[in-house]
């Protein structure tokens, strides 16, 4: 009987991924992204990988038979995709299956930030409604606002459709204007921020997005402005944001992502006009299971049918070369 394909899982990943992979493959687990943790036998034989976190160039170099890295999540910045592409290794991610969940969370975070619903619930639970009377009126409202979306990809489009349901006009900024959307386009992030009073960041972690939401953008957003970030903490200049919230440069912010997760800047914790959640935008059982299934399905499709389901743009290889799939079963 032909030996099963070996799949590497470095670090922690949702166990549903491992359970699915164990049905068809031999799974090799190591504690973290560290090539020294692999035996020579495993290193020589591993042909695929499933990862939720980092998969660096050193680990890729250690695996001469590696063909695919299936990454858990839409963002795949933890994988050294340049090193993978140089070797002809296909990298996949999990788009679409979490679009609605993240978009729902973005709108929820926006409402909580503007209407201060978490603080209102705390007021009730602490007995202050009985002891002190009604919770103070929220100084902000969604009424009459205009929203700008920084990054109009799949999730950005889902957020935009929800904002339309609230009667909030939508504009956007991306590297290039989209011809297939009805929303107003601004060629720079500063122009977008100046034209709206809600700015929602949903861009990936790239060199071009590092701290792009800085003091200049926050000033353009203005004293009635609200910042929401459900993309990557990398995008926001933390010090500039803390200062802008403290001195009234903008009105409020809601963050689900942070630059150095799980560490949150201490200055954020004391700001009454900031709502914080611990990177939970896609964190429902239903959605995380769908993401796990897509990780496994990519590996199954590649090694049993010779096709990647969701390759990332940097490694657009859709078909597998080499031995027939039947010989690998």
The residues annotated with a catalytic role in the active site are 232, 261, 279
Q: Please check whether residue 78 is in contact with residue 54, taking contact to mean a CB–CB distance below 8 angstroms.
A: yes
- Compute CA 197 distance to the chain's CA centroid, rounded to the nearest angstrom: 23
Nearest to 52 by CA among 95, 96, 11: 11
Residue 6 Rama label (left phi>0; alpha psi -120 to 50; beta): beta
DSSP 37: G
Helix (H, G, I), strand (E, B) or coil at 277: coil
Cis peptide leading into residue 37 (ω within 30°): no
Q: Is the peptide bond before 98 cis (omega within 30 degrees of 0)?
A: no
Give the whole-angstrom CA distance, residue 246 versus residue 235. 20
Direct distance between the N- and C-terminal alpha carbons of the chain, in angstroms, rounded to an integer:
9
Angle, helix 99-115 to helix 154-165, in steps of 10 degrees: 50
């Amino acid at each position: 009987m032909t030996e099963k394909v070996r799949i590497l899982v470095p670090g922690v990943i949702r166990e549903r991924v491992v359970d699915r992979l164990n049905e068809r493959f031999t799974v090799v687990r190591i504690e973290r992204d560290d090539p020294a943790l692999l035996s020579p036998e495993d290193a020589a034989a591993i042909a695929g990988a499933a990862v939720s976190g980092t998969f660096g160039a050193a680990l890729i170099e250690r695996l001469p038979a590696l063909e695919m890295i299936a990454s858990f999540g839409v963002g795949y910045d933890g994988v050294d995709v340049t090193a993978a592409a140089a070797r002809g290794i296909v990298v996949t991610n999990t788009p679409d299956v979490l679009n609605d969940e993240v978009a729902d969370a973005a709108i929820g975070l926006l409402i909580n930030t503007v209407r201060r619903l978490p603080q209102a619930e705390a007021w009730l639970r602490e007995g202050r409604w009985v002891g002190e009377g009604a919770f103070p009126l929220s100084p902000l409202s969604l009424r009459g606002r205009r929203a700008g979306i920084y990054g109009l990809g799949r999730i950005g489009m889902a957020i935009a459709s929800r904002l339309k349901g609230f009667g909030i006009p939508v504009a956007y900024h991306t590297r290039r204007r989209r011809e297939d959307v009805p929303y107003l386009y601004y060629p720079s992030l500063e122009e977008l921020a100046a034209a709206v009073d809600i700015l929602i960041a949903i861009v990936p972690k790239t060199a071009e997005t590092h701290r792009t939401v800085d003091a200049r953008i926050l000033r353009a957003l203005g004293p009635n402005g609200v910042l929401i970030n459900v993309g990557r903490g990398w995008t926001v200049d933390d010090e500039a944001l803390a200062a802008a919230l403290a001195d009234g440069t903008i009105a409020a912010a809601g963050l689900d992502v942070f630059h150095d997760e799980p560490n949150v800047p201490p200055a954020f914790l004391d700001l009454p006009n900031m709502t914080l959640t611990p990177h939970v935008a896609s964190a429902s059982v239903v959605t995380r299971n769908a993401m796990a299934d897509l990780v496994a399905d990519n590996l199954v499709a590649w090694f049993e049918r010779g096709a990647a389901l969701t390759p990332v743009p940097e490694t657009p290889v859709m078909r597998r070369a080499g031995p027939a799939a039947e010989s690998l079963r």
